[in-house]
Amino acid sequence: HPHSCSQHPGTHTMLPLLLLLLPAAHGIAQLRYRPALTKDPQLEGLTTASTFVLDQPRCVFDDYGNADIWLVVALEQAAFNNTAAPGTPETAFQGFPDRVRAYMTLNTTLVNYPCPKPDGDITVLRVGSETSCAQEPTRPTCNGPLPGPGPYWVKFLALEGSVPVAETAWSEPIILRTAKSPNSISTTGSGHSAGMIAITTILSILFAILLAGLVAMLIFWSSDSCSGSSTFSKPESVTVRRYNTHHVYDQPAARL
């Protein structure tokens, strides 16, 4: 009896350990859902230089009503460990991408992802939209602007307490827009500017010629109208003289 009684403390000690190891032994539920950029035609700017827009995971985590749902953003799929806790230096946005290769953000509960979605609801998430907390170490789960074009991979992870219980598949690689290099912008811009300058110069010259012609015509018409009496008097006098001369020479012929 003394020997058998000595085993009871060990039995009571092992039972909690087995209960703690049970979720790990069971593993994380692998959901078939794959995050993707939204295809909502009403939205613009699905990708920018520092953000992208995902569809919300509606009707995905319905079996995990007590879980917090996190978005994991990674530069490499292998860079994230499911046992990493959110809100720690290991998963803080402020260390991304140099010290941290994958961070956790946009945590919420299932109540914010109702299924089916009510009519009129906006069912998207804009990743990278918070600028105020990007440099704030006290906000490690900041949804801060993405630092480069990527590519990035994302997935949703459900945690009950600190225990991961379900996860989606990784998304396809997401590449952000890149701004044109200064060289390409200046070259292209200068080409268009040169063309516009040439056209503007030609039009200006043609307009100047046309304007000069109009001014010359106005001056000519003005001077012509001012001297109109003398101009017309001369042809009339000449005509009269010719007529008189012809008449004078006609008289002898008539007489003959």
Residue 192 Cα distances to 42, 117, 187, angstroms? 33, 49, 9
CA 234 to chain centre: 80
pLDDT band at 225 (very low <50, low <70, confident <90, very high): low
Within 13 Å of residue 162, how many CA atoms lie on the same side as its CB? 7
The arithmetic mean of pLDDT across residues 36-41, rounded, is: 88
| Lateral strand order in the sheet of 102-109 | 29-30, 163-167, 153-160, 68-74, 102-109
Asked whether the predicted pLDDT for residue 228 surpasses 60, the reply is: no
27-176 topology per CATH: Immunoglobulin-like (2.60.40)
pLDDT band at 183 (very low <50, low <70, confident <90, very high): low
For the ranges 87-91, 121-125, 153-157, the lowest mean pLDDT is seen at 121-125
What is the pLDDT, as a whole number, of residue 139?
97
Residue 249 Cα distances to 43, 147, 237, angstroms? 100, 109, 18
Residue 190 Cα distances to 56, 90, 178, angstroms? 44, 47, 21
Q: Judge whether 42 and 32 are in contact, CB under 8 Å.
A: no
Of the two residues 201 and 11, the one the predictor is more confident about is 201
CA 204 to chain centre: 39
The arithmetic mean of pLDDT across residues 20-28, rounded, is: 54
For the ranges 89-93, 163-167, 232-236, the lowest mean pLDDT is seen at 232-236
Residue 147 Cα distances to 52, 130, 151, angstroms? 12, 13, 11
User: What is the rounded distance in angstroms from the CA atom of residue 93 to the CA atom of residue 137?
Assistant: 9
The arithmetic mean of pLDDT across residues 89-108, rounded, is: 96
